[in-house]
Structures are given as C-alpha cells and as structure tokens.
Amino acid sequence: MGWILPRRMGRSRSAVVRRIRYRTPSEPRRSPAQAAGRRGGLGFPLQTNARGSELNVIHSTLNEQRVAMHLPAHVIVNVRRLRSLATLALVLMPVLFLLYWLSPQSLGFVAPTVPGGVAWGSLSAGQQWMARLLSLIPLAVAAWAVWRLRTLLDCYARGEIFSLAAIGHVAGVGKAWLVWVGVNMVLEPITSVLMTWHLPQGERMLAVRLDSDALIAALLGSTLWVMSWVMKAGRRAVRENEQFI
C-alpha cells in the first residue's frame, strides 16, 4: 500500500511530493535491479497512480509561477521612487527631443564627429530631415532601455525578485545598452558623411568615434546580461534541489 505525502518548503507555494511504499509480508522482495527500474534513472520514486500524477502537475505549475518575496517597506519605497524617475524620463525624452529639433539653430547644432562643427543653416532641407530621422534611432533604443528598467522595477516593487519576468527584464536592460552602443558606433560615420556632404571635395569627412562613455555603457550592458544568465542558472538549481528533497 502507499501514501502521498505533500510537504511544504518554507514559505514557497511549491509542494514536493514524496511516495512512501511499504512491502506487505505476502509481497515478494524485489531485486535491486527491479527497484532501480521502478525508481527511474535518478533512483527516485516514480508516481504511477492518478493522484500522484495530478500532484506532480500541480508541483510543476507552482514552480513556474512567480514567487513573491516580502521586501522591507523602505526597500519598496525606494524601488517605487526609482520607478517614478524612470517614468518621468520616458516622458521627458521625447519632449526634449522635439524641443531641440524645433529650433536647432538657436541651440547651436554641432555634429560631434566633425571638427569645428557644422552650422545648421548651411545644411539643405534634406540633410536636416535626415539628421532628425537618424537621431530618432538612438533615442528609441534609449527609451526601450528605460522602459525595460521601469518594468524591472515594477517587478521588484511587487516582490518578484527571481521570477522569469524579472530575470528577462534584467537581460533586456543589458541588451538595450549594448544595442545603444552599437547603434551610436554605426551612426557616427553616417552622420559625419551626411553633415559634410555639401562641402567641397577634400573637406568631406568620414569619422568614427569610440569614447569612454561607450565603453562604460558596453561594460554595463554586458554585466547585466551575464547577471541574467547567472540568476536563471541559480533559479534552475533551486528548482532541481527542491525536486530532490
């Protein structure tokens, strides 16, 4: 005969199912090979009845759900403040972009890769619109990074620290930083050619720039991306340890 004993692990909502089987006096003793075959490849009992299968499904489902952690009140307050700042940044970024490009001549437009800069009034209408469109690309990538950061902080505010959603947002922020660095490296030479195309031959430029800001951003993005791998591996290890108990 057998019993199904659910067991709680701390505050986690996941249940570990264990099956205990006792041999009756009339039942013949099984050989070690038969016992290993019944237990499966890892030597742990297999659930063969309907009730055990149902509990195994519940166990797997609960493991996939987000497990909320009870964070201290001051931590939640600080996380919510950072989330508000990220929301404010998402609102201000397009506003500042529009204000800049509505009157770039009054703000002193300067192409960063061209020595001495380029006067905005010397550019044709096509060059001006191309400059606006090209500058939209890094702005969109930066907004994507801030949005993923805000979503990550939203998960933290709910206590979801090691959920799959939170880990995915950590990886998303890192990828966004790396994409932002790559986009700027590609757009710099394109912008320099566009801004000097109207100049006489010999004065046109193709410039490439890699500064410390780009290196720091690339390092930060790579670190966050690797951290997401480590967090996912740790989460997987915890789940495997729960199944072995």
| Residue 223: per-residue pLDDT | 95
Distance CA 13, CA 68 (A): 10
Domain total of the chain? 2
| Residue 76: per-residue pLDDT | 87
33 and 148 within one domain: no
**Whole-structure pTM over 0.75, yes or no?**
no
| Neighbour tally for 89: CB within 10 Å | 15
Closest to 222 measured CA to CA, from 183, 184, 170: 170
What is each CA distance from 224 to 76, 89, 123, in whole angstroms?
A: 21, 20, 40
Distance CA 119, CA 100 (A): 15
Give the position of tokens 């797997």.
60
Return the beta strands (E) in 40-190 as ranges. none
Closest to 45 measured CA to CA, from 5, 10, 9: 5
104 and 48 within one domain: no
10 and 97 within one domain: no
For 200: left if phi > 0, alpha if psi spans -120 to 50, otherwise beta; the answer is beta
What is each CA distance from 245 to 9, 19, 38, 218, in whole angstroms?
A: 9, 12, 18, 41
From 11, 39, 64, give the residue that closes a domain: 64
Alpha carbon 23 to chain centroid, angstroms = 51
187 and 115 within one domain: yes
Per-residue pLDDT of the chain (245 residues; tens, 9 = 90+): 444 444 444 444 444 444 444 444 554 555 544 444 444 444 444 444 444 444 444 444 444 444 556 778 888 899 999 999 999 999 999 998 888 777 766 555 555 545 456 677 777 888 888 888 888 899 999 999 999 999 999 999 988 888 899 999 999 999 999 999 999 888 888 888 888 887 777 777 777 777 888 899 999 999 999 999 999 888 888 887 877 65
77 and 41 within one domain: no
| Residue 108: per-residue pLDDT | 53
| Neighbour tally for 171: CB within 10 Å | 19
From 47, 64, 81, give the residue that closes a domain: 64
181 and 113 within one domain: yes
Distance CA 190, CA 192 (A): 6
Token representation of residue 202? 């010999």
| Residue 10: per-residue pLDDT | 45
Return the HEC string of 58-119.
Answer: HHHHHHHCCCCCCCCHHHHHHHHHHHHHHHHHHHHHHHHHHHHHHCHHHHCCCCCCCCCCCC
Domain that holds residue 77: 73-244
Q: What phi, psi does 6 have (nearest 5°)?
A: -75, 145
